[in-house]
Amino acid sequence: MIRNFNAVIIKEGNWYIAQCLEVDVASQGVSESEAMENLNDALKLHFTPPIATVLPSVRQFELDIAA
């Protein structure tokens, strides 16, 4: 399935950061085009269903948070 997404690109130092507006995924590159290519790869990984090879151990824990 092909879907359209929007991205913003900003320059931080020597890096270009590409961030998808619809999904909380971002990537970086030394050029705008590299940042977009890396964002494309990151989004493909994000939407790839996980395949568990080892069953995880789920644990519940308490945390005292000073408010």
42: in domain: yes
36: in domain: yes
What global pTM score does this model have?
0.74
65: in domain: no
Q: What is the band of 13 on the pLDDT scale with cuts at 50, 70, 90?
A: very high
Distance CA 16, CA 9 (A): 7
pLDDT in tens, 15-58: 999 999 999 999 999 999 999 999 999 999 999 988 878 887 89
37: in domain: yes
For residue 17, give its domain range.
7-46
Distance CA 35, CA 41 (A): 10
24: in domain: yes
30: in domain: yes
Distance CA 53, CA 29 (A): 31
